[in-house]
Amino acid sequence: AYWPASGELRVENLSARYSSDGPKVLHDLSFHVASGERVGVVGRTGSGKSTLTLSLLRCIFTEGNVYYDGIPTSAINLENLRSNITIIPQVPELLTGTLRQNLDPFDQHDDATLNNALRSAGLFELRNDGDDGRLTLESDISSGGGNLSVGQRQILALARAMVRGSKLLILDEENLTDSPDYKTDTLIQSSLRNELRDVTQIIVAHRLQTIMDADKIMVLDAGKLMEFGTPAEL
Ligand code: ATP
Ligand code: MG
């Protein structure tokens, strides 16, 4: 059977630290996210939101259990795990190369699929800095993605989630107070609500709107889960 069939996530007593003998940064988080739900994660700076996103992909030291589609992630090899879940960090790093190589590093998809994803995500509407032309699959991405704004890099990562058919998307939203990139933000919000509507989404939220229309809201404080419920419940 094709795995993962859905994007259900169950987390039990998850704790995390950044080094094996370092302090716990997340304390005993337990929660369940049904397939297709969108969860907005909120909390003040340093509360552990980004740490949670890293923990779900076992990028740092964790204790406890994470079940993805009923399978403990400890039983899934990391390559398989990370190719089925798309995580978009606050500042995505890109590969130096073309847009195509970033979107489809293993050359598995045809041009129509890649172009459709870029169009849906809205990347073609954006211009490349210092370049008059629009972006194409062959546009160069300079080291780490330096010639794209952070928002544009997040849009590219969303297009990659579409191409891969990820069932679970974890997005660490760019903090708009740091970078008032409203156009890219509108595109990102539109992708999350349209093309990626059926994908389970865990969104570290900096916007009121993300929280208002989320299925569930998670409130973190000092690495602890303080609240988890529907907007109406909280
Ligand atoms: P923000 O809203 O500013 O993005 P956040 O909620 O994402 O904050 P985290 O980055 O998860 O917060 O940080 C949680 C705690 O983990 C903080 O005490 C922070 O200092 C610590 N921390 C974060 N990254 C590291 C790291 N690479 N090594 C050690 N400690 C870290
Ligand atoms: Mg963060």
Which tens digits make up the pLDDT trace of 103-127?
998 899 999 999 999 989 988 776 5
Q: Which of 17, 26, 50, 90 to mutate to test the pocket of ligand 1 (most atoms within 8 A of CB)?
A: 50
Question: Phi then psi for 187, rounded to 5 degrees?
Answer: -65, -45
Ligand whose nearest atom lies closest to the CA of 26 = 1
Question: Phi then psi for 16, rounded to 5 degrees?
Answer: -145, 150
- Return d(Cα 35, Cα 197) in angstroms, integer: 11
Please check the confidence at residue 24 and state whether its pLDDT lies above 60: yes
Residue 83: the pLDDT is 77
Please check the confidence at residue 136 and state whether its pLDDT lies above 90: no
Residue 151: the pLDDT is 82
Segment 162-204, tens digit of pLDDT: 998 899 999 998 765 555 567 788 888 899 999 999 999 999 9
Segment 27-79, tens digit of pLDDT: 999 999 999 999 999 999 999 999 999 999 888 999 999 999 999 988 888 88
Q: Which of 14, 42, 49, 51 to mutate to test the pocket of ligand 1 (most atoms within 8 A of CB)?
A: 51
Residue 225: the pLDDT is 98
As beta bridge partners, residue 67 has 10, 72
The structure tokens listed for 26 are 């997340």
Which of the pair, 220 or 142, is modelled with greater confidence? 220
DSSP 8-state class, residue 136: -
Number of C-alpha atoms within 13 angstroms, CB side, residue 36?
A: 5
DSSP per position, 27-47: EEEEEEE-TT-EEEEE-STTS
Q: Are the CB atoms for 73 and 157 separated by under 8 Å?
A: no
Least confident interval from 95-109, 118-132, 136-150: 118-132
Residue 171: the pLDDT is 93
- Count CB neighbours of 229 within 10 A: 12
ipTM: 0.98
pTM of the model: 0.90
- Count CB neighbours of 81 within 10 A: 19
Residue 92: the pLDDT is 85
- Count CB neighbours of 46 within 10 A: 13
Residue 177: the pLDDT is 53
The structure tokens listed for 149 are 């704004």
Helix, strand or coil, per DSSP, at residue 12: strand
142-149: average pLDDT: 78
Residue 173: the pLDDT is 82
Distance 101 CA to ligand 2 centre (A): 27
Residue 33: the pLDDT is 97
DSSP 8-state class, residue 158: H
Q: Are the CB atoms for 11 and 73 separated by under 8 Å?
A: no
The β-bridge relationship of strands 61-68 and 71-72 is antiparallel
DSSP 8-state class, residue 23: P
